[in-house]
Amino acid sequence: MNPVLQTLMLACSEDDRFETSGRVLFIGAEPHPQLIGLSGLTAWQPLKPLAAACDAVGMTRVGALPEGRWPLVLVLPGKSHDEVLESFAIARDRLEPGGSVVIAMSNATGAARCEKEFAKAAGTVTSLQKHKCRAFRASDDGSWNEKVVETWRGLSGLHEFGNPAWVTRPGVFSHGRIDPGSQFLSDHFPAFLHGRAADLGAGWGFLSHAVAARCRGIRSIDLYEADSRALECARVNLAVRKRDDCQLDFLWHDVQTGLSASYDVIFMNPPFHTGREKDIDLGRSFIRVAASSLSRGGTLLLVANRALPYEQALDQAGLAWRSVAENQSYKILSATRRSS
Ligand SMILES: C[S@@+](CC[C@H](N)C(=O)[O-])C[C@H]1O[C@@H](n2cnc3c(N)ncnc32)[C@H](O)[C@@H]1O
């Protein structure tokens, strides 16, 4: 089990409110035996694989960040610093007067520093350390420093950059900038690509826009993305750059579970991290799924850091591949199904 979750639940078991409050909001929810069957629980989780894990054990989960006030708010913050501070603001704004917030983070993600930042607003904070993690909690006793909370709120939600503007938000991949690998791939999309396309791990929509803009023969793009916050940004970004003759579908989906359709073109900048950990198997599984969803004669285009060993994964997936371009940091690979 995730040690951060274990530490959070340990802190909860020392908090009377967990048994008595009846109503609990869990931001960044993950499944835990103590939460199964808890009737007053409201769980929110933007990442599809974790949301599906909550559903699988019957935890009450909501799709959108809920509004309201709770006597107890639990938080497992995400990995970027802005996202951590945003989650503090989200928790604060959903706390009943007198209510408690309990937050857990691993030491490796800067738990001690974040606890100090949290204390700047919350004042008295109690904490426990276990499993190389830290859980810290505070109650709303009416003395929180609202100026500090206001700076957290300022980091929250959609932010614009570029001209014409793109929107991104804390926690999504490549917040506030275009990823250089994706930029490199977008410069190399062959204009002749056509038909039905899929963008695997679509993020906030940069690559889908690039394909729609450059490849006029592309008639539809299915954007598959596990992070509902990124998909929300993609919807906004592509609504203002819409091509009337290209249908877009935004799918909150775990690509590792497979795709329900087949495609003439699949493109991606595959993920290779789960949380903060490097996870090259995640990229390899994207390749396997793409290979099984390519139409006859279909093309897979991907960009990756030069050091990532995806050529072998393409071979193993039964694809014939070639290198399209390389620069100092990235490579672009194009693949088609080997004729049997
Ligand atoms: C390297 S980023 C590329 C994002 C976007 N295509 C771009 O170019 O900016 C990989 C994306 O895959 C998403 N992702 C990670 N695991 C996923 C999964 N299992 N299913 C679907 N998307 C996933 C991440 O949330 C992230 O947005």
Looking at residue 21, what is its pLDDT? 62
Q: Which atom of ligand 1 is closest in space to residue 199's alpha carbon?
A: 6
Q: How far is the CA of 202 from the centre of ligand 1 (A)?
A: 6
Q: How far is the CA of 171 from the centre of ligand 1 (A)?
A: 12
Q: Which atom of ligand 1 is closest in space to residue 285's alpha carbon?
A: 19
Which of 125, 138, 100, 116 is closest to 18 using CA atoms? 100
Looking at residue 34, what is its pLDDT? 86
Looking at residue 337, what is its pLDDT? 85
Instruction: Give the other-Cβ count within 10 Å of 101's Cβ.
Output: 25
Does 3.40.50.150 match the CATH number of domain 3-155?
A: yes
Q: Which atom of ligand 1 is closest in space to residue 203's alpha carbon?
A: 27
Looking at residue 37, what is its pLDDT? 80
Q: Measuring from atom 15 of ligand 1, which residue has the nearest CA? A: 271
Reported in sequence order, the residue ranges of the chain that DSSP labels E, i.e. its strands, are 24-27, 41-44, 61-62, 70-75, 95-106, 126-130, 133-139, 159-161, 166-168, 194-200, 217-225, 247-252, 263-268, 273-274, 277-278, 294-305, 319-326, 330-337
Q: Choose the CATH number for 159-337 among 3.40.50.150, 3.30.230.10, 3.40.50.2300, 3.30.70.1400.
A: 3.40.50.150
Q: How far is the CA of 255 from the centre of ligand 1 (A)?
A: 9
Query: Helices in 254-338 by DSSP H: which ranges?
Result: 280-292, 310-316
Q: Are 70 and 96 in contact (CB under 8 A)?
A: yes
Q: How much is the pTM?
A: 0.95
What's the rounded Cα separation, in Å, for the pair 269 and 282? Answer: 12
Q: Measuring from atom 9 of ligand 1, which residue has the nearest CA? A: 203
Q: How far is the CA of 225 from the centre of ligand 1 (A)?
A: 6
Q: What are the structural domain ranges in the chain?
A: 3-155, 159-337
- For 87-138, write each residue's pLDDT tens digit: 999 999 999 999 999 999 999 989 999 999 999 999 989 999 998 999 999 9
The amino acid occupying position 322 is R
Q: Are 11 and 125 in contact (CB under 8 A)?
A: no
Q: Residues near 105 by Cβ (< 8 Å), separated by ≥ 6?
A: 4, 76, 77, 84, 111, 114, 133, 134
Q: How far is the CA of 4 from the centre of ligand 1 (A)?
A: 23
Ligand 1 site residues, Cβ closer than 6 angstroms: 49, 173-174, 179, 182, 201-203, 206-207, 224-227, 230, 254-256, 269, 271
Q: How far is the CA of 53 from the centre of ligand 1 (A)?
A: 19
Looking at residue 162, what is its pLDDT? 92
Q: How far is the CA of 40 from the centre of ligand 1 (A)?
A: 33
Reported in sequence order, the residue ranges of 203-293 that DSSP labels E, i.e. its strands, are 217-225, 247-252, 263-268, 273-274, 277-278
Asked whether this chain's domains 3-155 and 159-337 adopt the same fold, the reply is yes
What's the rounded Cα separation, in Å, for the pair 143 and 340? Answer: 71
What's the rounded Cα separation, in Å, for the pair 314 and 237? Answer: 31
Q: Measuring from atom 13 of ligand 1, which residue has the nearest CA? A: 201
Average pLDDT for runs of 10 along the chain of length 340: 92 73 90 86 96 94 94 93 96 94 94 95 93 94 94 94 94 96 96 97 98 96 98 96 93 97 97 77 96 95 95 95 97 86
